[in-house]
A and B are shown apart, each in its own frame.
Chain A
Amino acid sequence: MNFLAINWPHVWFVTLLGFALVLVLLVVLIYVLKLFGVIMQPRVKVETPKEVHEAVGAPRKEESEHITLTGEATAAIAMALHLYYNGIHDEEPTHVTIKRIERKYSPWNAKIMGMNNLHRN
């Protein structure tokens, strides 16, 4: 193998420039994505805590500090949200399940036959 036969300047050029280009291109993408994130942030008016407390009548910060959620409660809330957002819930048949039962007349269910005919004198 002849090391001198290799075009080392070109090999180094490809190595350094190639890697630099990968870095530069992905750094450009980082800034574009960051900008993108700023633009796409939901523009919802965030109410100040005071407004929220007044509107909802919720406990103030000092009071709310005492509220602690257990792991089970957090899991239940997370599960409920998951079910709600993914539309996972019991399928409702959307029709009334209590039907009026109609039986055809038969001597077997005839009321008159079930009654004792007491002879009255």
Chain B
Amino acid sequence: MWTDILEFFRGMGFMQMGADFLGAGWQQLVMLFVSFFLLYLAIKKQYEPLLLLPIAFGMLLTNLPGANMFHSELWSAFLDPSSPAYHSYGAILKEGGLLDVLYIGVKAGVYPCLIFIGVGAMTDFGPLIANPKSLLLGAAAQIGIFITFLCANAMGFTEAQAGSIGIIGGADGPTSIFLTSKLAPELLGPIAIAAYSYMALVPVIQPPIMRLLTTKKERAIKMKQLRAVSKTEKIIFPIMVTTIVALILPDAAPLIGCLMLGNLMKECGVVDRLSKTAQNELMNIVVIFLGLSVGATATGASFLNWQTLMILAMGIVAFGIGSGGGVLLAKLMNVFSKEKINPLIGSAGVSAVPMAARVSQQVGQEENPGNFLLMHAMGPNVAGVIGSAVAAGILLTMLG
């Protein structure tokens, strides 16, 4: 009986953590506190709570000693060509825990695409169709991705890792996860957390950059009302974009295809049930799975190192450069075009839908309360979603 009691005590998480405290124990303890902090940010501060909460909880679960819910060693074997479990989902299903099984969806690149179906079903591409020039702003904002790619290479990351770090500048969580799971799965935890944290911090990061790069007069520019877009245009748009992008860049097809499928379901008006499911049930279920499994990858050993700090630092640089790139291109466009555009809408070229557009509206109204930039900013904003998915496809083609 005493042996059983002793075994029970030995099996306790506290004992396991204490037994190896100088090894993995302290890292697990620190990660538990990091997860508590993220939970605080999600619940109390409401920073992207829909994703930050499951991510933080996944982090909590994976760092509980003895819970055996996620096994990073299984995934290392999955990537090791000399291991018998190389690319074997069977081995994961046989030996893995709950979070390992959920992580298969991330590894196979399924969750980000399913989330894109929901994003598409919730997005109105009308402002972009009405003002196609917005696409230029969406493209310019992707410059942050490529400059950060350069910087990350200079800091000693491999090209594949640098590409994954750069994509944080696209401010698009699912795209970052999709690309990182293909190029540098070992960095998935820090990159996902950086991407979602910076998306949540859009209202804090962008306004100073926007004010720095524009004059008071530019911020007060009023834009002409957008033309009305017919239903037929909205229906043809997703079909057309998918065909063109996938024919030019097949690697971008999963993300763009899913985004446009969701949008087509919304706009065609004949599959309301599917559209509502994509917007609500499907999206919510996938967000739970994605958040939990991405959080699970943030184990002490993989998270508590200099790489993570560098990723967080470069992520904010990428994001800042992307926002600034959009604003500067908008100013450049004003030099050449007759109809002036408010450069504040350029910063919405980073994805972060619709928060970046709201920030443009907010900063614009500070200068001129009668200025309504929201719909104008939605054009570059949704163009940013397309742009970052295209950039991810390009990086995947070149570095994958």
Contacts and interface: CB of A to CB of B under 8 A. Distances in A.
A31 B147 CA distance: 27
Interface stretch (A19-27, A68-76, A93-101, A112-120): A19-27
A79 interface: no
B391 A26 contact: no
Nearest to B158: A6
Interface in A16-46: 16-19, 21-23, 25-34, 36-37, 40, 42
Interface size band for A: 20 to 34
Contacts, number: 99
A25 B247 CA distance: 11
Contact of A22 (B147, B154, B159, B391): B391
Contacts of A33: 128-129, 132, 135, 237
B: contact size bracket: 35 or more
Nearest to A7: B159
B146 A36 contact: no
A36 B233 contact: yes
A28 B244 contact: yes
Contacts of B140: 23
A18 B132 contact: no
Interface stretch (B104-112, B358-366, B392-400): B392-400
Nearest to A12: B150
Scoring B128, B155, B398 by chain A CB atoms within 10 A of each residue's CB, the highest score goes to B398
B236 A22 contact: no
A18 B394 contact: yes
B230 A14 contact: no
A41 B146 CA distance: 38
A18 B159 contact: no
Contacts of A14: 146, 149, 159, 163, 395, 398-399
A32 B237 CA distance: 10
Nearest to B131: A33
A10 interface: yes
A18 B391 contact: yes
A55 to B, nearest CB: 25
B233 A19 contact: no
B344 interface: no
B25 interface: no
A102 to B, nearest CB: 45
A30 B132 contact: yes
A89 B142 CA distance: 46
A32 B390 contact: no
B96 to A, nearest CB: 35
B146 A19 contact: yes
A1 interface: yes
Nearest to A13: B398
A88 interface: no
B153 interface: yes
Given A14-B146, A27-B135, 12 more contacts: A1-B155, A11-B150, A14-B163, A15-B146, A19-B142, A19-B146, A23-B136, A26-B387, A28-B248, A29-B245, A30-B133, A31-B132
11 contacts: A11-B150, A12-B150, A14-B399, A18-B394, A19-B146, A26-B139, A30-B133, A33-B129, A33-B132, A34-B132, A37-B233
Interface of B: 128-129, 132-133, 135-136, 138-140, 142-143, 145-147, 149-150, 153-156, 159, 162-163, 230, 232-233, 236-237, 240-241, 244-245, 248-249, 383, 386-387, 390-391, 394-395, 398-399
